Structure 1
Amino acid sequence: MTSFALIVRHQTQPGKRDEVRKVWEKHMAPAVAANPGHTAYFYCFDNADPDSICAFQQYASAEASQEFLKTDSYAAYLEEVEPLLAGPPQVTALTPVWTKEA
């Protein structure tokens, strides 16, 4: 299997970035930590835009990324976070070809 990565950029409603983070921490942080399909995950605030969040996600495979989208945790996250977002995320799919291990 080839690893698979995503860069996901969210634009929040004005002034709602901290609220979005709280929802992410409630639902996604524990789900990602417990998910063996995630091999790396970085949840980041954009320094140039106070209403933007960018996440880098690396999975064991493209299939693992699709399976995660079917979890109850992800559904609960979407339900709670969508009203806080300005629209759907911008998603870029990537194939990692080199990584530095910690």
Structure 2
Amino acid sequence: MTSFALIIKHKTQPGRRDEVRKVWERHMAPAVSDNPGHTAYFYCFDNADPDSIYAFQQYASAEASQEFLKTAGYAEYLKEVEPLLSGPPQVTALTPVWSKGA
């Protein structure tokens, strides 16, 4: 398996998680759906913290993840979402070695 994955934790401004989700749905859901470099994507609310969001993203390659960051949809998302976040995301890069399905 040669894919590349990320786990990203976003911390929102207090009480703004639903607003962040709306921004994500407007910009990122269609961009990810249309991106062949994304092989899996999970957008998740943290059950223990009402101001945290996690995204698990699997890409065909590390290069595909970098290319996605250059898209207009991602730039528009960042511009709109950054004021709703408490700071930069926590990003963990991973190398998948086994998965079910796909």
Same fold (TM over 0.5): yes
User: What CA RMSD, in Å, does the superposition of the two structures yield over aligned residues?
Assistant: 1.0
Distance 1:78 1:89 in 2: 11
Say if 2:98 is the partner of 1:98. yes
Counterpart Cα distance in 1 of 2:31 and 2:81:
15
Count of residue pairs brought into register by the alignment: 102
User: In the TM superposition, what is the alpha-carbon distance from 1:41 to its structure 2 partner?
Assistant: 0.1
- Aligned residues with identical type, % of pairs: 85
Q: TM-score, normalised by structure 2?
A: 0.98
Structure 2 stretches lacking a partner, 5+ long: none
Instruction: Encode CA deviations 1:17-48: one digit per residue, 9 max, x unaligned.
Output: 00000000000000000000000000000000
| Distance of 1:52 and 1:75 partners within structure 2 | 21
- In the aligned structure 2, how far is the partner of 1:51 from the partner of 1:66? 27
Tell me how far apart the structure 1 counterparts of residues 79 and 2 of structure 2 sit (CA, whole Å). 31
Q: TM-score scaled by structure 1? A: 0.98
- CA shift, 1:2, in A, is 1.5
Q: Distance in 1 between matches of 2:14 and 2:47?
A: 15
Unaligned 5+ runs, structure 1: none
